[in-house]
Amino acid sequence: MKKKLSYNILIALNSFKDVYSQKESIKLISTILTTINKNENRIFNIKSVILADGGEFSHEVVKNNLNCQEIEVFNVINPFKQKVISSYLILEDNSAFISSSHILRILSKDERYKNPLHLTSYGLGQLINHALKKGIKKIFLGLGGTNTIDAGIGMLQALGVRFKDQNNLEITPSDKKYFSGCDLSTIQYIECLNIESFKNIEVIALCDGAISIDEMNTPNCQKIGKTFQIEKDEILNRIENGLQQYSRINNVELSKKYLGVAGGINLSLSYLFKLNMKLGIDYFVEKLNIEEKIKSSDLIITGEGKFDNSFAGKTPVGISKIAKKYNKQVLYLVGDVENKYKKLFDDDLAVNLPEYIQQYGITSIASCHFFNNKMNKQSLDLGDYKKNTPIVFERAIKQYLLLKGFIK
């Protein structure tokens, strides 16, 4: 009897934005691979790992994989200024892991609040303050997956920092309670009477990308909800002007990498703390032993919601770069691609990728946009994406496996 061929396939995924959660993404791809391999003269040894990069779901990944204690905090202010219960994690070395997206991310059900001019990072400051009062001296701060664009002034307010105008008079928030994006342009001076106590705290900013202030346009656009599309340009202009004003106060270059992550929060963190900014994916690769998992695999399947500013330190590109190091094939799954990449597709799968993409270790890209554009609808809703994605991915994965000789 002919011996069955055996292939090790690693599925390394985060979420596909609001369409599929991390666990749903892993289950979807695992099911597709199992279905494709039925009755074949080969074995797919499928392993999976849920990824994080400092952005959304980082709290859950740390909680489920590392030895830590979850600390609940009550009356935390969420981005649209309602009181909620939130939490952070204390690690075994008595450092803390605090995820910005765990408190500053707005779910699709709250779409009506997605105007970053009126969103605050105050709640993140509350979580940091709670950890500091417990005696924590080192904080790993996951940055990304947030909806606020206030450069962290709400966070600083919760930590006792005051802001002043050009006449050195203290400013109050426009809503009289919490500083938000619309207040950035009014700030001329920052004052913290006990700043030295904060300078003794080490904060490691685990960033979900390396974008600078002047590269924030794409993520800023994505943070504006459908309800506010008519005034989108006005919102973006006010935010951009406010960020530039606040950057001048902090005396930083707009092109410095990492400062544009999570709505510019690093601008405020660098003012208050001893700050070390780095890519979050590197932290999680080490903690989850990702490199060893890649080394023992024949194929790595990774991906994200949209292929756009992905080379700026995004998780799946971090995975593909490691895979290239060991000459492993990478199939990159996405829901959509930025317009400049659409010319690479004749159908669901782009195989002949240009060198500037291949250099990151990406073998092929499968995208739903080609299929979705054929649908006779003005716009697609969440239900459409949930229905279409499995169809496209199954077809594209099968085509890829045929092209690369995994199946015949």
Q: Are residues 392 and 253 in the same domain?
A: no
Nearest to 306 by CA among 339, 284, 259, 282: 339
The number of folded domains in the chain is 2
CA atoms within 13 A on the CB side of 202: 8
Is residue 291 one of the residues assigned to a domain?
Answer: no
Is residue 65 one of the residues assigned to a domain?
Answer: yes
If you search the block for the tokens 């510019």, which residue do you land on? 264
Q: Are residues 21 and 62 in the same domain?
A: no
Q: Give the three-class secondary structure for 81.
A: coil
- The neighbour count for residue 244, using CB atoms within 10 Å, is 14
Angstrom distance (rounded) from CA 138 to CA 119: 27
Which residue range(s) make up the domain with 266?
58-281
Whether the CB-CB separation of 301 and 29 falls below 8 Å is answered with yes
CA pseudo-torsion sign 88, 93, 95, 97: negative
Give Cα 289 distance to the centre of its chain. Answer: 20
| Predicted local confidence at residue 263, as pLDDT | 97
Q: Are residues 80 and 226 in the same domain?
A: yes
Angstrom distance (rounded) from CA 272 to CA 306: 34
> How confident is the prediction along the chain (408 residues), in pLDDT tens digits per residue?
556 789 999 999 988 877 888 889 999 999 999 999 876 678 899 999 998 999 989 999 999 999 999 999 999 999 999 999 999 999 999 999 999 999 999 988 899 999 999 999 999 999 999 999 999 999 999 999 999 999 999 999 999 999 999 999 999 999 999 999 999 999 999 999 999 999 999 999 999 989 999 999 989 999 999 899 999 999 999 999 999 999 999 899 999 999 999 999 999 999 999 999 999 999 999 999 999 999 999 999 999 989 987 887 788 999 999 999 999 999 999 999 999 999 999 899 999 999 999 999 999 999 998 777 766 555 666 677 788 899 999 999 999 999 999 988
Angstrom distance (rounded) from CA 140 to CA 91: 10
Is residue 294 one of the residues assigned to a domain?
Answer: no
Give Cα 84 distance to the centre of its chain. Answer: 22
Q: Give the three-class secondary structure for 203.
A: strand
If you search the block for the tokens 């074949």, which residue do you land on? 40
SS3 content of the chain, % helix, strand, coil (to 5): 40, 25, 35
If you search the block for the tokens 């919760």, which residue do you land on? 158
Whether the CB-CB separation of 204 and 138 falls below 8 Å is answered with yes
Is residue 287 one of the residues assigned to a domain?
Answer: no
Q: Are residues 274 and 306 in the same domain?
A: no
Is residue 96 one of the residues assigned to a domain?
Answer: yes
Q: Are residues 45 and 65 in the same domain?
A: no
Q: Are residues 277 and 377 in the same domain?
A: no
User: What is the bridge-based pairing of β-strands 349-350 and 364-367?
Assistant: antiparallel
Nearest to 170 by CA among 155, 189, 154: 189
Is residue 236 one of the residues assigned to a domain?
Answer: yes
Enclosing H/E stretch for 133: helix 122-133
Angstrom distance (rounded) from CA 214 to CA 254: 6
Q: Are residues 345 and 399 in the same domain?
A: yes
Q: Are residues 40 and 66 in the same domain?
A: no
Whether the CB-CB separation of 178 and 154 falls below 8 Å is answered with yes
Angstrom distance (rounded) from CA 46 to CA 34: 9
φ and ψ at 403, to 5 degrees?
A: -60, -35
